[in-house]
Amino acid sequence: MGSARQVNIAIIGAGGVGRCFLSQLEQLVKRRPEPKLALVYISTSKKAFYTKDYTTIVLNSAVSNLASSTETPLAPAALADYLTGSSSKAIIVDNTSSQDVADAYPLFLSRGISIVTPNKKAFSGSYKLWKDIFSASAQSGARVFHESSVGAGLPVISTLKDLVDTGDEVTKIEGVFSGTMSFLFNSFAPTSGSGGQWSAEVKKAKELGYTEPDPRDDLNGLDVARKLTILARLAGLEVESPTSFAVQSLIPKELESVASGDEFLEKLPQFDSEMEKVKAEAEAEGKVVRFVGSIDVGTKQVKVGLEKFDRSHPIAALKGSDNIISFYTKRYGSNPLIIQGAGAGGEVTAMGVTSDLLKVLSSLS
Amino acid sequence: MGSARQVNIAIIGAGGVGRCFLSQLEQLVKRRPEPKLALVYISTSKKAFYTKDYTTIVLNSAVSNLASSTETPLAPAALADYLTGSSSKAIIVDNTSSQDVADAYPLFLSRGISIVTPNKKAFSGSYKLWKDIFSASAQSGARVFHESSVGAGLPVISTLKDLVDTGDEVTKIEGVFSGTMSFLFNSFAPTSGSGGQWSAEVKKAKELGYTEPDPRDDLNGLDVARKLTILARLAGLEVESPTSFAVQSLIPKELESVASGDEFLEKLPQFDSEMEKVKAEAEAEGKVVRFVGSIDVGTKQVKVGLEKFDRSHPIAALKGSDNIISFYTKRYGSNPLIIQGAGAGGEVTAMGVTSDLLKVLSSLS
């Protein structure tokens, strides 16, 4: 039946982040015998593997068990029934980017099941879903943590929560929130040297695996808009959705509707002069251009798009595909609290999920 | 008697940080009615004020009650008896920098009393005390948090713990860990312009309240050594004490034994040529000099002292009295995870204490 000293884990999603998380969980279980973490359920969008009696799935065979399984995933209500059928507490680890899974969070939480996830959809969708999630959590006492929804494993969400919860007044949040955009602009408009052609840098980023399969899914700015929505809400603004504020897309209008990412990449060089102009304008002021997001809490203004920065500005001096997030607050005064480092990648994203899992465990003990 | 839904708070220390904490606690109690936080004891090194029946002291009269009290502080064992005499859980907030209070942590923790504190002494004293603290905590389940012992409210300790607890391998930690040293070197050897005379900058820092009453207490490097000791231990090194590794003192030998801070400041200009030489050597390499601490986990080497940095290095580009801490880890690769911002000051130090208090409360619920 599962014992009280056991905590049941259900993992949804077994892609890049999911596999890194599984491997971190395996290490964690070796280091920390108490409480006993039992992986009882794992699923993708098509398949599921789980134990009827809540015995643990051997962690290093979870992926192969899943591959050979003929079961389909449980619907949210059935998954909740399954998990609450044990006397042990349960935690769902959602390693998908699925809106459907996100929509089920209020149900899971209301049934006392805690959630840890890097899935942005739950926290950047409708404001109603946001409210439903946190009120379900407040009522049942089940916890929900989502550190990796912004900046992967970087301590961004926890730091913002700490600032707000201890009564500081956050006045502005600004930064580079996309590893892809960071890489593109650090190469296209470096602080020293002239940088590459825009279309060539986009192509290179895709080849290095830094973009989505269709690079337009990065260049439309929506990923950054989702992260800004999450931070703005945590800072107290009732942002309705990631499309309810100004988001600058770097997709030329003429290429918005071309059929494929490949066709997009093929035609992008025709529009290089537009980005060159933007770069030259910044250079004329002794600056460089970067793709940033900002939240002005006082004026409730959320913005995503291109801005110019002095070459000595921390945002200009970023390296590789690093993120940087600056929190301006009343207590910190004119110099912001800054967090910087890799904001994408399976291992660091899974790290945020694992550390969230440890936070839930600490609150259960 | 105090109820189970009540959590009793005992504050030791009512100086700069203590008063900021009291004000943050007052705001916190207004925002969060549950659990009921009851300040039952407050003391300085000379006086104490507490309620025999665990009713709460009105927060905004705690300092005046303390000032007019004729009671002396309870000895550690008596304080533990007093706090465990209530049916409510208890948390001690140690806002002192007292070694005596730190030495009593194992006693408090073994009696089930949790501790939150910015006091470095407990975690940077003997390695035996460190072990006694964490084994007492592990045995009783009482929690101990000390975010503000390094970098004030910056999320330094929690981030390092998350890295280690999720199984990342920390290879190197490097940074500027002293607001005073940061201010001194940012003014003495700025990245652009020539900067001031060393002795004049020390005098200015003292006048601005950025140094201890005797500036030698900053210039001897011990404060940084204590912080490095804490981080090295969290990274897994058994550092015996803050004097068991190389610490460079910026006090000229001849001035180590002069009677007062004032006499020290008066005579310091005689030694300006030494610091000018250090600055010129760095400049000849196109670099600037900074006072940094570093921990190489692999070679177990901990160092505190002067080092040269390229002008574009984040450590060189620091502003004001900001701290910067870089974590190099296996998962983060060549670009470190960086945390930067004000690392000193009453409000931000108290913020770390308040957020630690929230972590303890979350684990009690």
Query: Each residue of A219-273: pLDDT tens digit?
Result: 999 999 999 999 999 999 999 999 999 999 999 999 999 999 999 999 999 999 9
User: What ipTM, to 2 d.p.?
Assistant: 0.95
Band (pLDDT 50/70/90 cuts) for residue A24 is very high
Contact check, Cβ <8 Å, A355/B317: no
Nearest CA distance, B169 vs chain A (angstrom): 12
Give contacts of B 310-339 with A, CB under 8 A. 312, 314, 317, 319-320, 322, 331-339
- What is the model's pLDDT at position A54? 97
Catalytic residues of B: 227
Average pLDDT of the residues of chain A: 96
Q: Which of B118, B94, B175 is nearest to B341 (CA)?
A: B175
- B227 close to B160: Cβ distance less than 8 angstroms: no
Assess contact for B170 and B156: CB atoms under 8 A. Answer: no
Chain B closest-CA separation from residue A160 CA (Å): 10
Q: Between the CA of residue A263 and those of A106, A260, A275, what are the distances in Å?
A: 41, 5, 19
Q: How far apart are CA A213 and CA A211, in angstroms?
A: 6
CB pairs under 8 A between A and B: 123
- Give the DSSP letter of residue A97: -
Nearest by CB to A342, from B153, B332, B345: name it.
B332
Place B294 in a pLDDT band, splitting at 50, 70 and 90.
Answer: very high
User: What is the band of B33 on the pLDDT scale with cuts at 50, 70, 90?
Assistant: confident
How far from A311 is each of A191, A236, A282, A306, CA to CA, in Å? 6, 32, 10, 15
- A227 is a catalytic site residue: yes
Which neighbouring-strand residues pair with A66?
Answer: none
**CA of B162: which chain A residue's CA is closest?**
A355
Model confidence at A3: pLDDT above 80? no
Position B140 confidence tier, pLDDT thresholds 50, 70, 90: very high
Q: What pTM was computed for the model?
A: 0.96
Which residues on B lie below 8 Å from A335 (Cβ)? 319-320, 322, 341-342
Q: Given CB atoms, is A351 within the 8 Å cutoff of chain B?
A: yes
